[in-house]
Structure 1
Amino acid sequence: MKTISKLFLLVLLSAFNVSASQAQNTPQAFSLKQAVDYALQNQERLKIAQNETKIANAKIGEIRAIGLPQVNIGAEVGNNFIPQSTFLPAEIFGGPAGEFLPVEFTPKFTGSAAISASQLLFNGSYLIGLKAASTYSQLSAKQLVQTEIQTTEQVTKAYYTVLVSHARRELLDANLSRLDTLLKQTKEMHKNGFVEKLDVDRLTVTYNNLKIEQQKTDRLIELSETLLKFQMGMNQQEAITLTDKLDNVEVDMNKVNTKDFNYANRIEYAILETQRDLATLDIRNIKAGYYPSLALNARYGGNMANNLFSAVTKPDNWLSFGYVGIGLQIPVFDGLSKSYQTQQAKLRLENANHGLNLTKQSIDLQLNSSSTNLTNALQQLESQKQNMALAEDIARVAKIKFQEGVGSNLEVVNAETDLRTAQTNYYAALFDALIAKVDLDVATGTLVQK
């Protein structure tokens, strides 16, 4: 019975492992939107950016805590095993004038306990610091959005790379199937003496080259899927499949409007605006250092001193004390330190404004460049589409002429070679157009709507 139970358990575990392995190897299907959403949840760069945002929010709480009551409790009990002596004139004790005698006033055991509290009433730097912390939190949030946009751009481009590679693979399969049929027909014609062996060899070379190109495309698909999974933050061991089709991807200039463009749509510009605000607050914070600061302080506690350690535990041996007061600090002269700090802060603000102007110029250039690139890519795509259609028709006619005995085998081989070149050029143009569209969406700040 024990042996049967062990065998049953082994079979059960094996079945579970097979089931788990099959579940792990089942490809996960993603549309482009689902791939982007997955990346926004799993990409490590985004997790880091999200943590930076949380750190910024915690920083606000840290600065706000400075203005809340500060309470401390302290206690100490000590043994003065070598008491400190004080020198007194010897004549007090009947000794000669001009001499001093060491006298011990310190008891063997001393103790103290106190609770202290302080409340900031006014501090100009604190108030500016609160506002700066809030602005810093906004900066961190914008940097998170920037990371999301960059992730979306990278995932989108990688997704299109896989789509184009798969589409090219399907076309290669169709070409290979057509050429395989033609090769078989040519071999039969050679057996019957209608064509020469040279005709068979030419088609065989073309067929073998197409097989090699198919294998290269398979490796390219594998590599592009690896890149996509990396950009998504997905485990490389997991299988993936794409649900979007190239036919459903819109690539045109009709929906592009750069005339009503707002620089604030670009997250890079918005981040620089926030950095400029922080530079302005830095100047205000330095100037606020010239203002007086006011704080409320309070202390309550007790002291004891005795030559017996047991006296520490007796409340009657403790002497209480208490204090409440308002502290005022007025800066008078700091050696011109704040003056130099202000000069530096003003230069940083000036640099921030220069950075905004430079970014505007860069955005204008990017808008013009990406718009021109997309226009050129669309024209090239249309041209290559027409070329591919013509090459397909030429290859079809050449095949028919060869089969009917009015065309040469060389004409068929050349037509097939031209067709593959036209197809390669078409998909290269399609990929360029897709990437140009993504670049234009990034330039206009419309890739990710927030």
Structure 2
Amino acid sequence: MFSGEYIVALQASKTYLGQTERQKVQTEILLVEQVSKSYFLILSLQDNLRILDTSLKVNEQLFEETKAMYQAGFVEDTDADQLEMIVFNLKASQQNIQNQITTAIAFLKFYMGLAPQAEIQLTDGIDEVLENMNIDYLLQSDFSVNENIDFLLFMQQKALADLQLKREKSTYYPTVNAFFSAKTSAMRDSYDFFDSSLPWYPTTLWGFQMNIPIWSSGSRHAKVQQSKLNLRKLEESQKQLTTSLELQVQTARDNFSNMYYEYLNRKKNLAITIRIYQKTNIKYREGMSSSFDLNQAQNSFIQANTDYTLSIMNLLQNKIELEKFLTKTAALFNE
């Protein structure tokens, strides 16, 4: 009828259920993080590949023109060789990026739980993703540890530790049990139990049983003290976790801010190198620039394009990391 341990066990079952729900949400957040990183990586690589494809077509055409001019004796063979080397390097970069895209798509399918042979189509473009990025929200929105899934999961662990302390304390309480027994006996020494004319004698027994703990050689006290110590440790860990999460958010914001300005800088640099390359290309066609100048401009363009792609990747990676901290999850649990 009364058992302190049983009452605590009922409370613990609800707490364990809440812990399982929070672990599920934590897993979902991590999965979304992996999917997002793979998705944005593919978009960044595809944009890089698009720029290289355009440059390759221009240089292939220029190479064919230069080769024809060399065969006609208007230019030296080094000019044709320089352009052939540019085309070769662009094709190598193109193949390398294509391989990276293939690998990234395979990981994206894996994180989404799709079969390797499944067909997927990415509907967003990298420019659209960058334009829709809410910079003000990421850098200025409030952060509350009480909304963070890691903190909520930790608080469930603390609640379980508190219940463990209550359980140990409940062993000091008495337990009360009720019992009831009803039976009938023939009270005969002959095998005539199926004779309905003979009487049967009912017996009913009921009552209460109370167990009062008196002596346990100090084991109950030791367990209570150990549970109190564990709870105090978790209280200190809670303070450390709160400070750690706040520092991580601030660091994530600083990193995102740095990567955002790095992205803007790399974007400007790419635009400048494209203009320089286009002008050098025109000068080369008009005979006002050498193939060496063209090759140098091309190398600067490839490097700027690579730096620009890396800046996008770093920016989006930090965006995902920051959004993970800012995700509000407390409302998902009805308690």
Cα 1:314–1:421, aligned 2, differ >3 Å: closer, same or farther? farther
Greater Cα shift, 349-358 or 258-267: 258-267
Answer whether contact 1:370 1:439 (CA < 8 A) is retained: yes
1:352 to 229, 234, 246: 234
Higher strand share: 1
SS at match of 1:240: coil
Give 1:192 shift.
2.6
Give 1:269 shift.
0.7
Are 1:247 and 2:132 an aligned pair? no
Cα 1:405–1:334, aligned 2, differ >3 Å: closer, same or farther? same
Aligned to 1:172: 52
Answer whether contact 2:139 2:253 (CA < 8 A) is retained: no
Answer whether contact 2:139 2:257 (CA < 8 A) is retained: no
Aligned to 1:401: 283
What RMSD over aligned residues (CA atoms) do the two structures have, in Å?
A: 2.3
Are 1:234 and 2:114 an aligned pair? yes
1:289 to 171, 176, 184: 171
Distance 1:176 1:280 in 2: 67
Are 1:414 and 2:296 an aligned pair? yes
Aligned to 2:246: 364
Higher helix share: 2
Answer whether contact 1:258 1:444 (CA < 8 A) is retained: no
Are 1:186 and 2:66 an aligned pair? yes
1:154 to 30, 34, 50: 34
Give 1:148 shift.
1.1
Answer whether contact 1:230 1:236 (CA < 8 A) is retained: yes
TM-score by length of 2: 0.91
Distance 2:137 2:177 in 1: 61
SS at match of 1:139: helix
Question: 5+ unaligned residues in a row in structure 1: which ranges?
Answer: 1-120
2:272 to 390, 397, 402: 390
Post-superposition Cα deviations, 1:122-153, rounded to whole Å, max 9, x if no partner, equal 22222222122212211111111111111111
Distance 1:369 1:447 in 2: 21
Aligned to 2:18: 138
Question: 5+ unaligned residues in a row in structure 2: which ranges?
Answer: none
Post-superposition Cα deviations, 1:275-325, rounded to whole Å, max 9, x if no partner, equal 2122112212221221122222112235679898x7566676976533211
Are 1:431 and 2:313 an aligned pair? yes
Answer whether contact 1:162 1:224 (CA < 8 A) is retained: yes
Cα 1:194–1:318, aligned 2, differ >3 Å: closer, same or farther? farther
SS at match of 1:297: strand
Distance 1:131 1:234 in 2: 40
1:328 to 210, 216, 239: 210
Distance 2:331 2:303 in 1: 39
Greater Cα shift, 185-194 or 218-227: 185-194
Cα 1:234–1:267, aligned 2, differ >3 Å: closer, same or farther? same
- How does 1:1-150 map onto structure 2 within 5 Å? 121-150=1-30
Greater Cα shift, 388-397 or 249-258: 249-258
Answer whether contact 1:266 1:443 (CA < 8 A) is retained: yes
Q: Point out which structure has higher relative CO (alpha carbons under 8 A, 6+ apart).
A: 2
TM-score by length of 1: 0.69
Cα 1:183–1:282, aligned 2, differ >3 Å: closer, same or farther? same
- How does 1:301-316 map onto structure 2 within 5 Å? 301-302=183-184
Identical amino acids, percent of aligned pairs: 28
Give 1:410 shift.
0.9
Answer whether contact 2:252 2:322 (CA < 8 A) is retained: yes
State the one-letter code of the partner of 2:101. Answer: I
Report runs of 4+ in structure 1 exceeding 4 Å deviation: 302-308, 310-320, 446-450
